[in-house]
Amino acid sequence: MTPAELRTVIEPDGRVKVRDLGLSDAELLHCYRTMLRVRAFDDTCLKLQRSGRIGFSIPNKGVEATQVGAASALKKTDWIFPSYRDFGMALYHGIPAVAMMHNMFGNAEDSAKGRQMPVHFSFTEPIKFVSISSPIGTHIIQAVGAAHAMKLRGEKHIALASFGDGGTSSLGFHSGLNFAAVWKSPVVFLCQNNQYAISCPVEKQTASDGFAIKAKAYGMPGILVDGNDLLAVREAVLEAAEYARKGKGPTLIEAKTFRMGGHSTSDDPTRYVPKELVAEWEKKDPLLRFEKFLGKRKLWSEKMRTQYYDEAMAEIDVAAKEAAATAKPALETIFSDVYATVPAHLRRQGQQAFEVAARHGEAEAGDGKFPL
């Protein structure tokens, strides 16, 4: 394997370079509908944030093919250690949109009971989707640890660690890749090179020729793939996953893509991303590319796009309304889910908090600006 050449499967006109895609027509349409659902989720969350109903969200427009392509290559028994731009991985594997929306509102049905920021999803069913981490790169070493535990147990599962180009500058990146390579831990490292780590462009992030080439220094295969080509990403992750399941160790995949929006809802990309660059990548929109491919197989039409997107928006709208109407976490949850048996000193503190709340009412957020 060499990272020197950009791997592609879908040609710009929609033709493919391989005959056996490993996906049925129904599965291909599931990939397509998942990308549309990601965009619908994005659109809805942006409106919710701008109207002050949620505090934060992360745009995914432009990087959906990398998420969904990678997810399609994983088994339900594999573990996903996602970045915060991986909505599609959860949706692809059957996580209900309403479960994700509960986290956006931080309500009583949120798996984290409102203890985390929005976009910090975590689920144990139907897949193992480990909580997204705000600190960059910390989940990379967690993925390696989990993968190594699978190896010691004799399991054939793997872990996928997904991170952005900025994550490669973290200590977790070096520590994780070095450990995984030495111990041949069954983990796939997926670097989503979307060109900017917040406002820091790739050329200021690394002096190397991309990120896949870094694999050579750690003693593992490196693959450079077109991140806007869903089938190319799927192929690369399938290859890396099989390599890991055979006990050969990790692979570093660099998926070259571009986020066609801000780093988050608190970011203004027009201040640092040239308009010409955005226009260039808009022509490479992964959704449009996949539509051309589906069209070649007689599986797509303009009418279908409208129908599927309207269905996705309706689904997300219902999810948002349900999450908005769900009660906030009870005060006692700040003491629960930590200890099997609550220690006496925490019981005393809890009782004091409950008494204050009973006299004065529960605390509200106040009118300060959201910090991010």
Catalytic residue set: 259, 263, 272
Which of 120, 94, 96 has the alpha carbon at shortest distance from 106? Answer: 120
Q: How many CB atoms lie within 10 A of CB 5?
A: 9
Which of 189, 321, 178, 198 has the alpha carbon at shortest distance from 244? Answer: 189
Q: What is the DSSP letter of 213?
A: G
Which of 245, 244, 261 has the alpha carbon at shortest distance from 253? Answer: 244
* Sign, Cα dihedral of 237, 240, 245, 250: negative
What is the spatial distance between Cα 162 and Cα 79, in angstroms, rounded to a whole number? 11
Region of residue 123 (phi > 0: left; psi between -120 and 50: alpha; otherwise: beta): beta
Q: Which residues contact 54 (CB under 8 A, 6 or more apart)?
A: 45, 48, 104, 105, 118
What is the identity of the amino acid at 267? D
